[in-house]
Amino acid sequence: MDKTEALRRLAAAHVGYLATAGPHIVPFVFVVEGRRILSMVDTKPKSTTELKRIRNIRTDPLVSVLVDHYESNWSRLWWVRVDGTARVVDEDFDHIAALLRAKYPQYADVDLTGPAIIVDIERIVGWESAPTVP
């Protein structure tokens, strides 16, 4: 899979897995803008907005993001992994929230209060299975 196709599949994915230091891996929702991945803490029930992923990024900004497609027909499997540097921001929420709401209609009635995570994509790789011949 070439980098252009990998970036297209990353942008189209509805859920990814964010790996931060620890290791600590969590599912998360995001949007891709150019060579950046944007995400934000929302107000769904949580004990705090200072989530472990936020604390980890503040300590060690190197992260990986994985999106994949799985089904029982293994000739349709694929995955894309991004390695990058993340930062936690407490600004530009309106822009990031608008992008997230455009991708996820579920956010129409959910407050996006931040903080936000921005991942600068430094490396993107992907793999897809070879189709089986009938």
pTM of structure: 0.89
Residue type, 29: V
- Size of the chain in residues: 134
Residue with tokens 């891709």, as numbered in its chain: 32
Q: How many CB atoms lie within 10 A of CB 53?
A: 23
Q: How far is CA 5 from the centre of its chain?
A: 16
Tell me the three state secondary structure of residue 4.
Answer: helix
- CA 80/CA 93 separation, integer angstroms: 27
Query: pLDDT per residue over 8-58, tens digit each?
Result: 999 999 999 999 998 899 999 999 999 999 999 887 666 666 789 999 999
What is the four-CA torsion angle of 20, 25, 31, 36, rounded to 10 degrees? 20
List Cα–Cα distances, 17 to 10, 37, 44, 49, 53, in angstroms.
11, 12, 18, 18, 11
Does domain 3-127 match CATH 2.30.110.10? yes
Render pLDDT for 100-116 as a digit per residue (tens, 0 to 9): 999 999 999 888 888 99
Q: Where are the domains of the chain?
A: 3-127
